[in-house]
Amino acid sequence: MTRLQKTLAVSLRKYDFSETSQVLHLYTRDYGKVHCIAKGAKRKKSAFHGPFDVMVLYEVIRLEKQPGALDLLTAAEALRDYREVRADFARFSAASYACDLVDEFTLEGQPQPELFELLRRMLEALAGGSPVTPSVFSFEARLLRILGHAPRIAECGVCRRRVIGPETYFSARDGGAVCVRCRPRDPTRLLVPRAVLDAMGAFVEGRPADLRALPNLVDHLRRVMDTYLRHLLEREPKTMRFMREAVLAPRP
Ligand SMILES: [Zn+2]
């Protein structure tokens, strides 16, 4: 059984498959991540009006195949190419990283329309001139929440008491905050000012966070987020280094 499906999709990754064809990882609104082949996409005259690029919003029609086989893309129209993002290294790095995270954290065929909307809004925000640093933190925190990995912020994971005092541990292995009395055994634990986790909590809940509350807040929060994401993925996505440069570099 095969069927045609029309949906919105953001292109996450592309590979050359042959002289003329491409394999794409798309994150679709209605079907989650799909891997598909666009036959003839690199030919001068094709059904796709030219080769596919990453970080583009398309409306696509695909032919769903049996599990394990690649879907066939039969038509696609580029709706938005986020060209403003491509013109700026920091924005481009942040957008590539966002696409990479979605690709890394998702499996094929598990629809999460909320995640699609999050990615689309992130690309729109970066294209529209939103500040890069809070956009990246907000994207990461909300992705974690949608995927059920929101870190524990207010309560110690060991004694279950409310975390008080100026500093707290963050343990990726223990899923978030651990108070100073209960010092975690996790070798990747970080001791950070509590304002760092408060900022993370604000991003998770979709509230604005004051990144100037402390002089090194951005650096601390970056370390916490990097440690947590590396723990969840068991490796570091390759675009993370470029994103870090974009986020930590002082910007006007
Ligand atoms: Zn405790």
pLDDT tens sequence across 111-158: 999 999 999 999 999 999 999 999 999 999 999 999 999 999 999 999
What's the CA-to-centroid distance between 161 and ligand 1, angstroms? 6
Q: Which of 49, 81, 113 is the last residue of a domain?
A: 81
Beta strands in 118-182 (DSSP E): 167-171, 176-178
The label of the residue with tokens 């989650």 reads 32
Range of the domain at 89: 84-152+166-248
Residues 136 and 199 in one domain: yes
The pLDDT, as a whole number, for residue 250 is 59
25: DSSP letter: E
Q: How would you classify the pairing of strands 71-80 and 32-38?
A: parallel
What's the CA-to-centroid distance between 193 and ligand 1, angstroms? 16
Residues 72 and 99 in one domain: no
What's the CA-to-centroid distance between 180 and ligand 1, angstroms? 7
What's the CA-to-centroid distance between 181 and ligand 1, angstroms? 6
The edge-to-edge listing of strands for the beta sheet with 190-193 is 176-178, 167-171, 190-193
The total of structural domains in the chain comes to: 2
What's the CA-to-centroid distance between 32 and ligand 1, angstroms? 38
Given a contact cutoff of 8 angstroms between Cβ atoms, the answer to whether 251 and 90 are in contact is yes
Dihedral (CA of 51, 72, 24, 70) sign: negative
What's the CA-to-centroid distance between 159 and ligand 1, angstroms? 4
Arithmetic mean of pLDDT, 25-49: 90
Q: What is the CATH number of the domain that holds 70?
A: 2.40.50.140
Residues with CB under 5 A from ligand 1 (ion): 156, 158-159, 179, 182
The pLDDT, as a whole number, for residue 70 is 85
Given a contact cutoff of 8 angstroms between Cβ atoms, the answer to whether 221 and 141 are in contact is no
Q: What is the CATH number of the domain that holds 226?
A: 1.20.1440.120
For Cα atoms 4, 10, 112, give the angle at the middle one, nearest 5 degrees.
75
Residues 119 and 208 in one domain: yes
> What is d(CA 1, CA 208) in angstroms, rounded to the nearest whole number?
48
Per the prediction, the chain carries an average pLDDT of 93
Which is nearest to 96 in space by CA: 231, 228, 245? 245
Q: Give the global pTM.
A: 0.94
Which neighbouring-strand residues pair with 27? 10, 33
Dihedral (CA of 66, 71, 72, 77) sign: positive
What's the CA-to-centroid distance between 236 and ligand 1, angstroms? 29
What's the CA-to-centroid distance between 212 and ligand 1, angstroms? 28
205 has pLDDT over 90 = yes
What's the CA-to-centroid distance between 88 and ligand 1, angstroms? 44
Give the SS3 label for residue 75: strand
What's the CA-to-centroid distance between 137 and ligand 1, angstroms? 26
150-202 confidence digits (pLDDT tens): 999 999 999 999 999 999 999 999 999 999 999 999 999 999 999 999 999 99
What's the CA-to-centroid distance between 204 and ligand 1, angstroms? 22
Which is nearest to 145 in space by CA: 203, 223, 232? 203
> What is d(CA 79, CA 201) in angstroms, rounded to the nearest whole number?
34
In a domain, 182, yes or no: yes
> What is d(CA 197, CA 189) in angstroms, rounded to the nearest whole number?
13
What's the CA-to-centroid distance between 190 and ligand 1, angstroms? 15
Residues 40 and 143 in one domain: no
In a domain, 15, yes or no: yes
What's the CA-to-centroid distance between 227 and ligand 1, angstroms? 20
Which is nearest to 88 in space by CA: 50, 135, 120, 41? 135
DSSP 3-state percent helix, strand, coil across the chain (nearest 5): 35, 25, 40
